[in-house]
Amino acid sequence: MTEYLNLPDATELSGVSGSALGALLDECVTASWHQGCRYYPDVPCPPHWLDLKGKSAGQAHFKRGGLRFNATLLRENPWRFLHEVVPHEMAHWFVFHALENDGRRRAPHGAAWQAMMRDVFMRTPSVTHSFDVTQASPRPYRFRCACSTHHLSHRRYLNTLKGTRYRCRACGKPLHYQGPNDPVAATKV
């Protein structure tokens, strides 16, 4: 089998940004769908969005009827993202639409998904990515318990302002706000 994604090499992709990167994502989703249709021609082409936040790189969202991708992780890791994450999510899409029509749910990363990754999308099945998520999921707020320092996200910080109490998993003591890790973070409230 030959590689079905005709993308620039990693060095060329590192200089691509903005709408050009979005266009490459569109091409990659379409090429992956065409690849899957060689084996399962009745599967619909999924719409896709760059609206996923946090540590997740991608998500096959069946209720919404499409694929979601993390723009920050795409921008920071374009070659690996397009070669790994898009086929990963497309494999979920094809397992759901081509194999789950019998009413039986398949394990998300079970045998059917692994076979789809290997046999259709020509990728080694991998459940998680290894991207640096520092920018995609920042934790700019410093809290302290009896045993250590913890870094919480903006959302969790806002929850503490509304009265939510978080406890340390190690010592069980409540976390107390110490201040922002970065002075710029304090202006986000």
Give the distance, in angstroms, between the CA of residue 57 and the centroid of all CA atoms in the same chain. Answer: 1
Nearest to 91 by CA among 112, 64, 105: 112
Residue 1: pLDDT band by 50, 70, 90 thresholds? low
The tens digit of pLDDT for each residue in 111-170 reads: 999 999 999 999 999 988 877 777 766 667 889 999 999 988 888 999 999 999 999 999
Q: How far apart are CA 166 and CA 133, in angstroms?
A: 22
Mean pLDDT of the chain: 88
Average pLDDT, integer, range 95-111: 87
What is the structure's pLDDT at 186? 42
Residue 185, pLDDT > 60, answer no
Please report the domains of the chain, with CATH numbers, ordered by start residue: 10-120 (3.30.2010.10), 141-188 (no CATH)
Contacts of 59 (CB under 8 A, 6+ apart): 52, 67, 68, 69, 89
What's the whole-model pTM score? 0.74
Output the CA–CA distances (angstroms, integers) from residue 146 to 114, 166, 176, in the order listed.
44, 13, 10
Decide: 85 and 10 in contact? Cβ < 8 Å: no
100 is catalytic: no
Q: How far apart are CA 154 and CA 133, in angstroms?
A: 15
Average pLDDT, integer, range 32-36: 97
Catalytic residue among 3, 27, 76, 89: 89
What is the structure's pLDDT at 141? 86
Decide: 74 and 55 in contact? Cβ < 8 Å: no
More confident residue, 105 or 189: 105
Residue 2: pLDDT band by 50, 70, 90 thresholds? low
Grouping H, G, I as helix, E, B as strand and the rest as coil, residue 61 is strand
The tens digit of pLDDT for each residue in 71-86 reads: 988 988 889 999 999 9
Neighbours of 99 (CB within 10 A): 16
Q: How far apart are CA 96 and CA 138, in angstroms?
A: 32
Report the run of H or E that residue 142 belongs to, with start and end.
strand 141-144
Average pLDDT, integer, range 1-28: 86
Nearest to 72 by CA among 13, 118, 133: 133
Residue 92: pLDDT band by 50, 70, 90 thresholds? very high
